[in-house]
Amino acid sequence: SQQGEEDPQALSIQEGENATMNCSYKTSINNLQWYRQNSGRGLVHLILIRSNEREKHSGRLRVTLDTSKKSSSLLITASRAADTASYFCATDAGKSTFGDGTTLTVKP
Amino acid sequence: DTGVSQDPRHKITKRGQNVTFRCDPISEHNRLYWYRQTLGQGPEFLTYFQNEAQLEKSRLLSDRFSAERPKGSFSTLEIQRTEQGDSAMYLCASSSHMGLAGTYEQYFGPGTRLTVT
């Protein structure tokens, strides 16, 4: 089974709103990464947060990590139609193990 | 170097045939990964290399699958006697991994879409 599991499976919001998606995992990790995948394309790395970090920012992205709850969240602020994609979290225990993703739709 | 490239981008084959895919990673990256992705699911790990050494292979990977990275640069993934269940997107990724501090971010190629008829 997959190590990382995203929630919700699907999210639909209006342009300008914030989008929050969550990731839960089962075992200890060195780091957790978030990726974006546009339909039919390869994955693009967004942000990596290490196990000793609690929060990280990159542009409109904010990632938190709670190792005690084995969970992470990705917040996209002021969403744009171009943010429409699937978002995956991946944990590292030697290699990355992906969940099934959250499909985000941002309506213009 | 413009990123990870994969060839071919699409492959249609008949059940029972063998297929081979190629991945060219970012040149300075020492790790190379293969994943398989089916519609609506996340990438499923298949195997990875550090330089030319194959360090891990998924237990889910049947003996029909084999991967090589002979000179520590490009890699090939071969599927023998293809089955319809092998239809998927095959993704390659590379990363620069130094020391024991964990996997650095992976850069993915565009994938090879395999259809087995």
Residue B87 has pLDDT above 80, yes or no: yes
The percentage of residues in chain A with a pLDDT greater than 90, rounded to a whole number, is 65
pLDDT at B60: 75
Q: From the centroid of its chain, how far is CA A104?
A: 11
Dihedral (Cα; B28, B34, B38, B43), 10-degree rounding: -70
Contacts of A98 in chain B (CB under 8 A): 35, 42-45
User: How many other CB atoms sit within 10 Å of the CB of residue A84?
Assistant: 19
The pLDDT of residue A23 is: 93
Per residue in A65-98, pLDDT tens?
Answer: 999 999 999 999 999 999 999 999 988 755 667 8
Which residue of B lies nearest to A47 if distances are taken between CA atoms? B105
Average pLDDT over residues B107-116: 95
Q: Each residue of A21-32: pLDDT tens digit?
A: 999 988 888 888
How far apart are the C-alpha atoms of B32 and A48, rounded to whole Å? 18
In angstroms, the CA B103 to CA A48 distance is 10
Of B19, B32, B33, which is closest to residue B64 (Cα–Cα)? B19
Q: Distance (Å, rounded) from C-alpha A29 to C-alpha A31?
A: 5
φ, ψ of residue B86 to 5 degrees: the values are -80, -10
A30, A45, A98 member nearest B107 (Cβ)? A45
Instruction: Report how far apart the first and last C-alpha atoms of chain B are (Å, whole number).
Output: 35
What whole-number distance in Å separates Cα of residue B6 and Cα of residue B64? 20
* Pair type for strands A55-58 and A43-50: unpaired
Measure CB to CB from residue A99 to each of B4, B42, B93 and give the nearest one.
B42
C-alpha span between B58 and B90 (Å, rounded): 14
Please give, rounded to a whole number of angstroms, the shortest distance from the CA of B38 to a CA of chain A: 10
Contact A43 B91 (CB under 8 A): yes
The yes-or-no verdict on residue B79 having pLDDT over 70 is yes
